Amino acid sequence: MLQHIAIIMDGNGRWAQARGMSRSQGHEAGTRQIAVVAKAAIELGVKILTLYAFSTENWKRPSAEVNFLMGLISKYSYEQLGEMQKNGIRLNCMGRIEQLPALVRKSVHKIEEATANNSQLILNIALNYGGRAEICDAVNAILQDPDRPEQITETNFRKYLYVPNLPDPELLIRTGGELRISNFLLWQLSYSEIYVSEKYWPEFGDAELRQAVTEFQQRNRRYGGL
């Protein structure tokens, strides 16, 4: 079964550079790709798509690039609202959202509210997201919960993650060829199948997603058994 796909959308900068374009143009092209891949995911029967858009480490980039990305996120969420309503996509942001600029927080909250009743696809956008930060935030949420369980189990711990009780992604895709997780979904990826594409994110579309899913379906998932 393939219910949840997570994607590390990497390679915008290299895609642009290879074409003599600016990194910003690469990010714009990459942002447009989100709608394409979301639509393909719906056609494939996927229910949850979690996309890594900005990591807790990406603040290290030059401030001009960080500011450009923040503006892009806000602009894009408004621009895509019509398309999301049409396709039944529910937007949900995950990460340390409270640390984002007010403009970004406001726009994503608006779109989250506007799409809250859509049910074709849950589109989780990981923004100012770090896997270690999420685990620490979950532990702090437990410490502050007056109704916390006496014992933490793998099952009740999930309730404290950014998206409570999110099923694990069966498939993790990373575009841009790097063989690392870069602090994405450290808890949830524990048994996910990994697929790395050499294509840069702005060139990863319908056909590439289908190819990843086809390969996933041929994997033998043993979970430590035989």
Where in the sequence numbering do the catalytic residues fall?
A: 10, 58
CB 14 to ligand IPE: min, Å? 3
| Span of 53-61, 72-80, 160-168, 189-197 interacting with ligand IPE by CB under 6 A | 53-61
Binding mask 5-34 for Mg ion (x = CB under 5 A): -----x------------------------
**Residue 106: both structure tokens together:** 């406001």
Give the N- to C-terminal CA distance of the chain in Å, as an integer.
19
Q: Is the dihedral of CA 89, 81, 74, 105 positive or negative?
A: negative
CA distance 55 to 8: 10
CB 58 to ligand IPE: min, Å? 5
Q: With beta carbons less than 8 A apart as the criterion, state whether 121 and 42 touch.
A: yes
Residue 130 found at the interface with ligand IPE (CB under 6 A) = no
CA distance 210 to 78: 28
- Binding positions for ligand IPE, 158-217, rule CB under 6 A: 176, 178, 180, 182
Residues in the chain: 226
Residues forming contacts to Mg ion in the complex (CB under 5 A) are 10
Residues forming contacts to ligand IPE in the complex (CB under 6 A) are 8-14, 52-55, 58, 69, 176, 178, 180, 182
